[in-house]
Every structure is written in structure tokens, then in C-alpha cells.
């Protein structure tokens, strides 16, 4: 369900590009992001042991678990919030944390890196580039 809501959000996000600032489309994008996040979070909750995600996923669940992190990171970056706002910074930090979790997991578990071949490369690049964006946003917030 999370993937379906995410796909629907992508379609609405394309419409937002054609109609920037349309409050109805913004509301719909954010609602779809929230629905996708709710379903991905519920999926993650099914994997928790004693209230925490496992340190190592089994062979059958490693890809779905890491894809869940990937989607959650991507979705945080898709929420439509005011530019240069505290909420934007929080969303970027959430994206960074999700991608870093994938990179760290794959570094510790080489088999996972093979299973997540394409996604882990994207995550590594984002983890490398995002600190600059985070710092820039922090500086802009301090000035305002």
C-alpha cells in the first residue's frame, strides 16, 4: 500500500510542477505522502523485535526492509513545506537519516549491498551530498 500511495503522490507531484502553488494539489501531495509513510511505518513495525528494528534482517526480508527505509527517505523529501523553514530542515534530515541507515547497513552486511545494488549507490551519493544542503539550510534558518 505504501508503494501505491507513493506512486499516486508522484503523479500529483508532477501536476504540482505544472501548477506550482496550487493549494489543493499541495494538500493532496502532502496527504498522499502521509498515507504512504503511515503504511511503510506500519510495515516496519511488523519487523520490530522488543520495539526495535533488528540489527540484521534475514535473507527474505532484507530487501523489503531496506526499500522501506529508501521510500521513507524519499517521501520525507517530497512533502511540500515552505522553503527555508524548520520543517524543510527536518524533512531533509529525515531523508539523510533514512539513506544513511541503508548505507551503514550495507557496509556492515555485504550481501545486502548486492541485493540493494542500484538503491545503495543512490543512497551513498545522497549521503555524500546532503550534508552541504543541510548546512546551507541551517545557516539560512539562523539568519532568519
**pLDDT tens figures, 85-115:** 999 999 999 999 999 999 999 999 999 999 9
Stated pTM of the model: 0.91
User: Angle CA(54)–CA(57)–CA(58) in degrees, nearest 5?
Assistant: 135
Give exposure, 103-112, as e/b (b: 16+ Cβ within 10 Å).
bebbeebeeb
Answer whether residue 2 shows pLDDT above 80: yes
Q: Where residue 125 falls among pLDDT bands split at 50, 70, 90?
A: very high
Amino acid at each position: 500500500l505504501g508503494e501505491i500511495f507513493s506512486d499516486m503522490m508522484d503523479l500529483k507531484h508532477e501536476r504540482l510542477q505544472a501548477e506550482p502553488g496550487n493549494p489543493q494539489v499541495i494538500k493532496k501531495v502532502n496527504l498522499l505522502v502521509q498515507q504512504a509513510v503511515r503504511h511503510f511505518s506500519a510495515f516496519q513495525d511488523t519487523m520490530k523485535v522488543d520495539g526495535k528494528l533488528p540489527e540484521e534482517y534475514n535473507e527474505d526480508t532484507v530487501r523489503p526492509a531496506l526499500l522501506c527505509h529508501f521510500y521513507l527517505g524519499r517521501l520525507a523529501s517530497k512533502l511540500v513545506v515552505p522553503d527555508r523553514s524548520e520543517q524543510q530542515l527536518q524533512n531533509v534530515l529525515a531523508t539523510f537519516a533514512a539513506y544513511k541507515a541503508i548505507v551503514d547497513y550495507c557496509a556492515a552486511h555485504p550481501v545486502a549491498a548486492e541485493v540493494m545494488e542500484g538503491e545503495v549507490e543512490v543512497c551513498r551519493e545522497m549521503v555524500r551530498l546532503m550534508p552541504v544542503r543541510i548546512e546551507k539550510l541551517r545557516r539560512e534558518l539562523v539568519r532568519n
